[in-house]
Amino acid sequence: MAEFTGKTVLITGGGSGMGLATAQRLLDAGADVVLAGRSEDRLESAVKDLDAGDRVLAVPADVSRTADLDRLAARIGERFGGLDGVFANAGVAGFSRSADVTEEDFDGLVGVNFKGVYFTIQKSLPLLRDGGSIVINGSWLTHRGLAFTSVYAATKAAVINLARTLAPDLGVRGIRVNAVSPGYIVTEMFEAISTTPEAQEECRSHVALGRLGSAADVADAAVFLLSSRASYITGQEIVVDGGLTTSVPL
Ligand SMILES: NC(=O)c1ccc[n+]([C@@H]2O[C@H](COP(=O)([O-])OP(=O)(O)OC[C@H]3O[C@@H](n4cnc5c(N)ncnc54)[C@H](OP(=O)(O)O)[C@@H]3O)[C@@H](O)[C@H]2O)c1
C-alpha cells in the first residue's frame, strides 16, 4: 500500500510551483489532494496536468479572506470528510525599499502570507484528524537580511514562528506543525522577480550546490514532513536552499 493511501491533504497555492509539485508527489504516494488558489484557470490547468480524476478537488479560494476559507473547509468536509495534512503554501512576493512601502503593499503581503496562513490552519482544524501534519512554506529570507524584503521577510518570520507556537498548541492532538524554507526555487514567483538570465545567474552563484532549486526539491521535504516518517518532528524548519544560507560557495 502506498504511503498516503486513504489520506487527504489540502495544499493552498496548489495550482502552481511548489504547491503543484507537492500535489504530484502526494498523488504518486496514494493521497487525495485539495488544491486551493485564486485563479480558476490556474486550478483548471493544474487539475488537467495532474490527471488524477476524482482524487483531486480544486476549490477557488483567496486565503486572505476567512469567508473563502470557511467555504473551502465546507467543500472538503462534503467531499472527503476530513483532512490528514495541510500544506499552507500560498504566498505572494513584493519587494521595495522600506521608504516606498505603502499601506496597501503592507496589508497585501501580511494578508496573504501571514493572515492567510494563520486562518488556513485555524479553519482546517475541525477537519484535521488527530495525528495530522501541517507544513508551512517559509523562506530563506528569514535567515539573511536582503534589502527591499522588509515586509515579505517579516511575514515569513511570522509563519515560521507559528510552527513553533502551534507545535505545543496542537501537539495535544498529536498534530505536528513544521515549516519548509525554500532558497532560490525556479517557479513563476522566482521568474517574476529574477527576470533576466544575468539575475538568475547571480542567484545561482550564491548557492553551494551550484544550481537553482526546483519545485520538486521543496515538495520532497514537504511530503517528508507530512508523512509518518516525520512522526517525531514538530516545531521545526527544514531549509531547502542548496546551502545558500549557510555557506560561501567557491
Ligand atoms: N520561488 C522561490 O524562490 C521562493 C523562495 C522562498 C519562499 N517561497 C514561497 O513559496 C511559496 C510558493 O511559491 P512558488 O515559488 O511556488 O510560486 P508560485 O508558483 O507563484 O505559487 C504561489 C501560489 O500561491 C497562490 N496564491 C497567491 N496568493 C493567494 C491567495 N491570496 N489565496 C490563495 N492562493 C494564493 C497562487 O495562485 P493564485 O495566484 O491563482 O492565487 C500560486 O498558485 C510561497 O509562499 C512563496 O512565498 C518561494
Query: Is 90 exceeded by the pLDDT of residue 1?
Result: no
Task: Tell me which of 189, 238, 239 to substitute to probe ligand 1's pocket, judged by most ligand atoms within 8 Å of the beta carbon.
Answer: 189
What is d(CA 87, CA 62) in angstroms, rounded to the nearest whole number?
A: 15
Nearest to 226 by CA among 33, 44, 72: 33
Residue with CA closest to ligand 1 atom 32: 62
Ligand 1 first shell, C-beta below 6 A:
12-13, 15-19, 36-39, 42, 62-64, 89-93, 112, 116, 137, 139, 182, 184-185, 187-190, 215
Give me ligand 1 centre to Cα 250, in Å.
Answer: 31
Do residues 225 and 233 lie in contact, with contact meaning Cβ atoms separated by under 8 Å? yes
Is 152 in the active site?
yes
Q: Tell me which H or E stretch contains 119.
A: helix 117-124
Percentage, residues of the chain above pLDDT 90: 100
What is d(CA 19, CA 66) in angstroms, rounded to the nearest whole number?
A: 20
Q: Give residue-wise pLDDT tens across range 181-215.
A: 999 999 999 999 999 999 999 999 999 999 999 99
Nearest to 226 by CA among 40, 13, 21, 22: 22
- Going along the chain from its start, the domains and CATH numbers come out as 8-240 (3.40.50.720)
Give me ligand 1 centre to Cα 122, in Å.
Answer: 20
164, three cell numbers = 513553533
Q: Give residue-wise pLDDT tens across range 98-154.
A: 999 999 999 999 999 999 999 999 999 999 999 999 999 999 999 999 999 999 999
Give me ligand 1 centre to Cα 16, in Å.
Answer: 7
Q: Which amino acid appears at position 50 of this protein?
A: L
Q: Give residue-wise pLDDT tens across range 32-77.
A: 999 999 999 999 999 999 999 999 999 999 999 999 999 999 999 9
